[in-house]
Amino acid sequence: MSEKPASRNNGSNTYDVAVLGGGSFGTAMAKVLGENGHAVHFWMRDEGQAEEIRSTRINHRYMPGVTLEGDIRPTTDLAEAVGKAEIVLVAIPSKAFRAVIREHSTEFFDGQIVVSLTKGIEEHGFKLMSEILIEELPRCRSGVLSGPNLAAEIVNRELTATVIAAKDPEVRRTVQELLGCEYFRVYANVDVYGVELAGALKNIYAIVAGLASALNMGENARAMLITRGLAEMSRFAVSLGANPMTFMGLAGVGDLIATCTSSKSRNFRVGYAIGKGKKLDEAVQELGQVAEGIYTLKLVREKSEAIGIYMPLVRGLYEILYEGASINAVISSLMMAVQNSDVEFILPRTIAQ
């Protein structure tokens, strides 16, 4: 662990913050931080991209046309970015998250606040990003940011709310202070596992919603998918220890609505492309950005079968994406399945059965 930098927060409420990951969401958060007056050590692996942002203040590949205001310092030196920061926000896709943190774990210092912005699950062991942070950086204080936060809207200063989940109240308070502004509100929650799992799970249902939209299904169908998706994800998460009420909040139903109703969601777009007849590989290739849901789907299907949780939408989407099942056959089997109770995941067992 390295030494703690001197705080620049001498009553001015501005901090040195590192943002790790130069994609759409890292850029959106760097923009909010820069506008809020913080010094932003913006780490990305590509020197060409860092140089371009330094000279034009625009991340042309991920956020064309969006100018980053304020004290933004793009860098490819992660040790320098983390070493100078009081708070670190990590927006690296789940597939690379642990490798990046592990490789640089000695650069972090005791008590440093490290917050995951990533909505995914690690392939081996079903670990969430906050669990990886605890394992790799046991002496840091961790948290998770999740909610209906389409990067493409945040960069246009469109009104947005999010959730900071952390056990440590100072982490929650600091992140609220750091990011909150006239267009970005930060709510707090202590259910780290629930908030984080909600963010990862909703990506699956965004793919389903994109698929339904491509098939010109109506609003009734969309409402059915969103609500049954919510039931399914809540049932699964609660069985793993999450608080069911978290799913009624911004990180649960909030994010589900945003991503299941908008083509600004990359997961929705992948589903849409598949609904229009594209192969999964083609859809991902065309997107050119991360769609975490396609990986989360595999892991959640496997886990739900292992622990015996009924997730028909997960199973149906898996059959379409990975087993070549016809979309119509899956829809008809879903519609003809046994008709269950509504909101069974919060009903007493006798009524739910």
All residues at 6 or more sequence positions from 193 whose CB lies less than 8 Å from its CB, including other chains: 128, 130, 237, 240, 241, 242
* Calpha distance 257→248 (Å, rounded): 11
* Calpha distance 163→18 (Å, rounded): 19
Cβ distance 97 to 122 under 8 Å? Answer: yes
The answer to whether 120 contacts ligand 13P (rule: CB under 6 A) is no
All residues at 6 or more sequence positions from 56 whose CB lies less than 8 Å from its CB, including other chains: none
The answer to whether 267 contacts ligand 13P (rule: CB under 6 A) is yes
The answer to whether 17 contacts ligand NAI (rule: CB under 6 A) is no
From the list 87, 154, 166, 258, which residue makes contact with ligand 13P (rule: CB under 6 A)?
A: 258
The answer to whether 96 contacts ligand NAI (rule: CB under 6 A) is yes
Please give the helix or strand (H or E) that residue 42 lies within, else none: strand 39-43
30 labeled part of a ligand binding site:
no
* Calpha distance 111→140 (Å, rounded): 5
The answer to whether 25 contacts ligand NAI (rule: CB under 6 A) is yes
According to DSSP, residue 121 is labeled: B
Distances in whole angstroms, Cα of residue 84 to Cα of each of 5, 59, 81, 329: 6, 22, 6, 55
* Calpha distance 324→244 (Å, rounded): 34
Give the one entry of ligand NAI, ligand 13P, none that residue 93 binds, where binding means its C-beta sits below a cut-off of 5 to 8 angstroms depending on kind: ligand NAI
Q: How far is the CB of 120 from ligand NAI (least distance, A)?
A: 5
Q: How many residues bind ligand NAI (CB under 6 A)?
A: 25
Q: Which stretch binds ligand 13P (CB under 6 A): 3-11, 93-101, 253-261, 312-320?
A: 253-261
Give the one entry of ligand NAI, ligand 13P, none that residue 258 binds, where binding means its C-beta sits below a cut-off of 5 to 8 angstroms depending on kind: ligand 13P
Q: Residue 150 or 321: which CB sits closer to ligand 13P?
A: 150
Q: Residue 31 or 73: which CB sits closer to ligand 13P?
A: 31
24 labeled part of a ligand binding site:
yes
| Active centre residues (catalytic) | 202
In the shown chain, the binding pattern of residues 238 to 277 toward ligand NAI, with x for contact by CB under 6 A and - for none, equals ----------------------------------------
Residues in the chain, total: 353
The answer to whether 151 contacts ligand NAI (rule: CB under 6 A) is yes
Kindly tell me the sign of the dihedral angle through the C-alpha atoms of 344, 348, 351, 353. Answer: positive
The answer to whether 42 contacts ligand NAI (rule: CB under 6 A) is no
290 labeled part of a ligand binding site:
yes
Contact residues toward ligand 13P (CB under 6 A) are 119, 148-150, 203, 206, 255, 258-259, 265-267
